[in-house]
Amino acid sequence: METDVKHTRSSSLRTACDKLASSVGDTPLVSFSEFCPAAKVKIYAKLEWRQLGGSVKSRPAYYIVREAIHSGLLDGNRQILDASSGNTGIAYAAIGNELGIGVTLCMPENASDERKRIVRELGATLHLTPPTGSTDEAQEFAETLHQKHPDRYFYADQYNNDNNWKAHYHTTGREILEQTGYRITHFTAGLGTTGTFIGTGRRLRSVIPDIRLVALQPDLPMHGLEGWKHLETARVPGIYDKELADEVRRVNTERALELIKEVAARKNMAISPSSAANLAGALDLAKTLNEGTVVTVLPDDGSKYNEINGKYL
């Protein structure tokens, strides 16, 4: 009898999780070509906040959770556990809230107040780690917590989980190809967990072998771009493939923050610092081209960054 109840509960959880697929991905691609003076260079960006959880991180969070549920690693008796700078945590919390699964998150203290408020309102348990350790220390805390209570948690480990990049391979990359009519020539995105760049880049290159893939990093170890990593001085994610990028470009935090104002004025759109950084990288790349189609992603909007937007909007 107990086995039958457990099987029924697992089956119901799988069904409920599969239904969430329609709420993840399929985000719009919007032109930013008016920001580039070269008439033959087109710039596009995907508005990734237009999905469950409100950010690009909904894609890997969903794939990680779905695969864990279908493989039996995650059932109604375990909680989702992971380290996050904020957006993946919100995505886990939103998914957990929909499925009735508990979520425990380890997050640096300097994550925005809005992000911390949102995950708590969605019912997640939050452990804050010192800001000086960034997400590296949050990862270490999550790993220790899982080691102490392996039966209580499913450790999602987004920085080393292949379902992170596979989510973008199967969704983001496919969507960009279809939305550009397979005319994309350059793809660029910032490196955090690196899943967006690695998964999307691999899918694009599998279809368009001569596409140019340009990774973006902060220009300094101490920067203001939440979720981004300065890989030379940070813990490198296990899913990162250093051979994939044709080029790595640097983005200045202040340059990105100033771009928030320009986008608000010209597009009537409030974007986040990380979105502005991706767009800044795409614009700088576009300036080096005579023609081509450059695509990036805008990970989230400005709704979770009131302390930033109060200054730049």
Q: What is the DSSP string of 137-176?
A: HHHHHHHHHHHH-TTTEEE--TTT-HHHHHHIIIIIHHHH
The reply to whether 64 and 79 lie within a common domain is yes
Question: Token pair for residue 110?
Answer: 């300097």
| CB burial string 272-294: b at 16+ within 10 A, e below | bbbbbbbbbbbbbbbeebeebbb
H or E stretch covering 247: strand 247-251
pLDDT classification of 7: cutoffs 50, 70, 90: low
3-state class (DSSP) for residue 61: helix
| Structural domain boundaries enclosing 178 | 16-51+168-312
In a domain, 272, yes or no: yes
Percent of the chain residues topping a pLDDT of 70: 95
DSSP run (H or E) holding 287 = none
Q: At 2, is the pLDDT very low, low, confident or very high (cuts 50, 70, 90)?
A: very low
Look at the chain and report how many structural domains it folds into.
2
Q: Is residue 2 part of a domain?
A: no
Written as one letter, the residue type at 102 is G
Residues 123 and 234 placed together within one structural domain of the fold? no
Cα(3)–Cα(5) distance, rounded to whole angstroms? 5
Read off φ and ψ for residue 187, nearest 5 degrees.
Answer: -125, 135
**Amino acid 309: pLDDT:** 55
Q: What pLDDT, on a 0 to 100 scale, did the predictor assign at position 4?
A: 44
Overall average pLDDT of the 43-57 stretch: 97
The model's confidence at residue 312, banded by pLDDT at 50, 70 and 90, is: low
**DSSP assignment, residue 237?**
P
Given strand 79-83, what is the order of strands in its sheet? 125-129, 103-108, 79-83, 153-155
Which of 63-67, 184-188, 227-231, 296-300 shows the lowest mean pLDDT across its residues? 227-231
Query: Is residue 297 situated within a structural domain?
Result: yes
Give 108-162 pLDDT, tens digit per residue: 898 888 889 999 999 999 999 998 777 889 999 999 999 999 999 999 999 999 9
Mean pLDDT of 64-68: 97
Are the C-beta atoms of 114 and 303 separated by less than 8 Å?
Answer: yes
Q: Same domain for 194 and 293?
A: yes
Question: Do 211 and 228 sit in the same domain of this protein?
Answer: yes
Supply the pTM of this predicted model.
Answer: 0.92
Reported confidence tier of residue 17, pLDDT bands at 50, 70, 90: very high
Q: Are 131 and 109 a contacting pair, CB within 8 Å?
A: yes
Structure tokens of 200?
């999307």
- Specify whether 228 is located in the same domain as 251: yes
Query: Considering the domain boundaries, does residue 21 fall inside one?
Result: yes
Bridge partner list, 103? 80
Residue at token pair 């886990």: 92
Residues 177 and 306 in one domain: yes
Same domain, 181 and 145: no
> CATH code at 114?
3.40.50.1100
Residue 291 lies in a domain: yes
Nearest to 159 by CA among 145, 143, 177: 143
% of residues, the chain, pLDDT over 90? 80
Residues 197 and 226 occupy one common structural domain: yes
Work out the angle between the directed axes of helices 113-121 and 87-99 (0-180°, nearest 10).
10
Whether 218 and 297 map to the same domain: the answer is yes
β-bridge partners, 293: 42
Examine the domain organization and report whether 180 and 284 are in the same domain.
yes
Handedness of CA 141, 306, 51, 53 (dihedral sign): positive
Of 121, 155, 189, which residue constitutes the final position of a domain? 155
Note whether 88 and 57 are within 8 A (CB).
yes
